[in-house]
Chain A
């Protein structure tokens, strides 16, 4: 740690003195930064008080339309009154403990899998967790066995649907994207061409088009009377789409691994798959953690597009609640603000986790 030498001596004096020194050094060094600082403070003074006033001071939680009409600030009562509709959509009211349980289970599995980085003992449990957990989630959501009433997936909605679409999307898109990336690097022309064409075509169209094709055009190609589940079509669309993007991210990682590493694998007489699994991919994937998480975050947010094919993800159920009674319709700002807060919470957690993951995995290099 050579930087230690450059550190200034520890500040002394009272807190106020230190605060003045700190702000002189960081906020008011030079006329330009002084103007910037004062400008920023003025901007915050202009921006924050009205927001706080609207969102907290004058807001109401009263879950009635009358209560909201009286309040001059935000009507969080809209969220309060429709919370179960927003969280679970049109899932039968008396059965909503099932999606709740499924959601908790899914979160548990996700956290457990993420914890595998820190606690190597848990790594062995990751695959069994998913293999056992996903069928349990499916049984909880669909029912039809063990005395649970059957619930069509056109009734699924809200946060559980968003989490299912995105986590299943990640699980399948990750390996598929990896195969596509390897395919694109392959020396076999057929595999290479197929991968390149697939990636370029899918990347060349917007997700909304893929979903639209899956939802509106695809059923017309099927013979009369044969229908494929709407949710499944959307899920496959999301997987295919995300995989193409991930493939390019992974290709970046593969290209960044020095040539010598490939040669090292060859010289040890490892097979292609062995050297990929043991030498190349651990390095390549670690290099591309930020863009991979970036892809996941954008996929998570893209799941909201399923609203155009009549599925209610979390944002969709907010809209559903806005339309449940026309009297609520004018409180759309509160509804969308609530949705934004939940989305931010989840995306921010993902970003934080990726930063942590990078730090953990780089420990080997820091010595």
Chain B
């Protein structure tokens, strides 16, 4: 009964909705109407998106949504979160249940082209690596022939693992364990020689789960590229621009050394034309995006720059250094497109 009623109601609104979708800016208009951004996040990945003891969502993925809300609505707290599993995430975006998906999602060709999605940036560069006990006496992944490897099933991790060993002409014995707690417990109890997942995950597992972290090493080989970033649905270009530049402003602010603390001072006193453009002292950027001129100021004031967000979440929670995610000037890959 209920489903039929719902279906009927759905069918009746088809025409109206189809018309709405044809217009550019449907997502943006929807957000302005409801007054908040609906943000799809991970159901629990410390440092990226996880609930704190008070049940509030925190993490660098969460901060992207907060930055977008600050830029568009002037309030970083105007965000509602929808926790999503890996299987649900694209459906939720395609069906319009969420406005933005910020859930450690790897950008790939098929996802970008075939699923009707737009990847708007990379807020975390990750890659798959190997964790081994020091006692194994191995210093490179090329020496892992015949090893037993603990891995979680159904992920790209498992596929990358098989690809890597096949490409190197080596054999391995997979130990496939569904639950991350059990998988890591199996590894630390010596059930397998190697544990593999994204490097960010390996570091946090080593710090938090090992009795003596110094007894374990992460091998230097990174066997896959995992550029993780926020995604929006295709069809509302203005909205994807806003998300892209909201994130870019965070990185650019770090490049200029503008922080949550000194942003007011910078706005009042800085003579650097780049900073003046970013903070709206020299108007034009907000207008170009269809936003208030204080858009980037609001982001930095309320959320902080990229480095601050990274420190507060990834470094504090996972003990991970910047690595690939350092600014390009420090040898990393974070390189903001100029805001001008």
Q: Could you tell me which A residues sit within 8 Å of B by CB distance?
A: 81-82, 84-85, 88-93, 96, 152, 154-155, 157, 212, 215-216, 219-220, 222-228, 230, 236, 307-310, 312, 316, 319-327, 329-330, 332
Contacts and interface: CB of A to CB of B under 8 A. Distances in A.
B18 interface: yes
A329 B208 contact: yes
B10 A310 contact: no
B54 interface: yes
A229 B299 CA distance: 31
Contacts of B43: 307, 310, 312, 316, 320
Contact of A310 (B6, B57, B85): B85
A242 B14 CA distance: 32
A363 to B, nearest CB: 38
Nearest to A332: B181
Contacts of B207: 326
A215 B87 CA distance: 10
A81 B53 contact: yes
B45 interface: yes
Interface of B: 2-3, 6, 10-11, 13-14, 17-18, 20-21, 26, 43-47, 50-57, 80-85, 87-88, 91-92, 94-97, 181, 204, 207-209, 317-318
A84 B83 contact: no
Contact of A88 (B3, B55, B80): B55
A312 B3 CA distance: 23
Contact of B91 (A220, A323, A332): A220
B97 A230 contact: yes
Given A85-B54, A89-B55, A310-B88, A226 B13 contact: yes
Nearest to A157: B55
Closest 5 CB pairs between A and B? Answer: A323-B44, A219-B95, A225-B17, A90-B55, A93-B54
Contacts of B45: 323
A329 B50 CA distance: 12
Given A90-B81, A152-B80, A219 B97 contact: yes
A308 B85 CA distance: 7
Contacts of B52: 85, 324-325
A90 B46 contact: no
15 contacts: A84-B53, A90-B81, A155-B55, A212-B87, A215-B88, A216-B88, A219-B95, A224-B21, A224-B96, A230-B97, A308-B85, A308-B87, A309-B85, A316-B43, A329-B209
Contact of B208 (A227, A230, A326): A326
A91 B43 CA distance: 14
Contact of A227 (B44, B96, B317): B96
Nearest to B209: A330
Given A89-B51, A309-B88, A326-B318, 17 more contacts: A84-B54, A85-B53, A90-B57, A155-B55, A215-B88, A216-B91, A220-B94, A223-B11, A225-B21, A310-B84, A319-B44, A320-B51, A323-B51, A324-B52, A325-B46, A326-B207, A329-B46
A85 B56 CA distance: 9
A82 B50 CA distance: 13
Contacts of A319: 44
Contacts of B318: 326
B311 to A, nearest CB: 16
A312 B83 contact: yes
Contacts of B92: 219
Contacts of B14: 223, 226
B53 A324 contact: yes
B17 A224 contact: yes
B254 to A, nearest CB: 25
A324 B82 contact: no
A236 B88 contact: no
Nearest to A220: B91
A85 B17 CA distance: 38
Nearest to B92: A219
A223 B51 contact: no
B88 A226 contact: no
B27 to A, nearest CB: 10
Contacts of B56: 90, 93
Contacts of A220: 91, 94-95
Contacts of A227: 95-97
Contact of B82 (A82, A310, A330): A310
Most chain A beta-carbon contacts within 10 A, residue among B26, B52, B53: B53
Most chain B beta-carbon contacts within 10 A, residue among A223, A307, A322: A223
Contacts of A321: 51, 53
Contacts of A326: 46-47, 204, 207-208, 317-318
B80 A216 contact: no
Contacts of B209: 329-330
Nearest to B57: A90
A152 B34 CA distance: 13
A327 B208 contact: yes
A222 B10 contact: yes
A316 B55 CA distance: 13
Given A85-B53, A320-B44, A329 B181 contact: yes
Contact of A224 (B18, B181, B204): B18
Contacts of A96: 55
A153 B197 CA distance: 33
B95 A222 contact: yes
A327 to B, nearest CB: 6
A309 B92 CA distance: 11
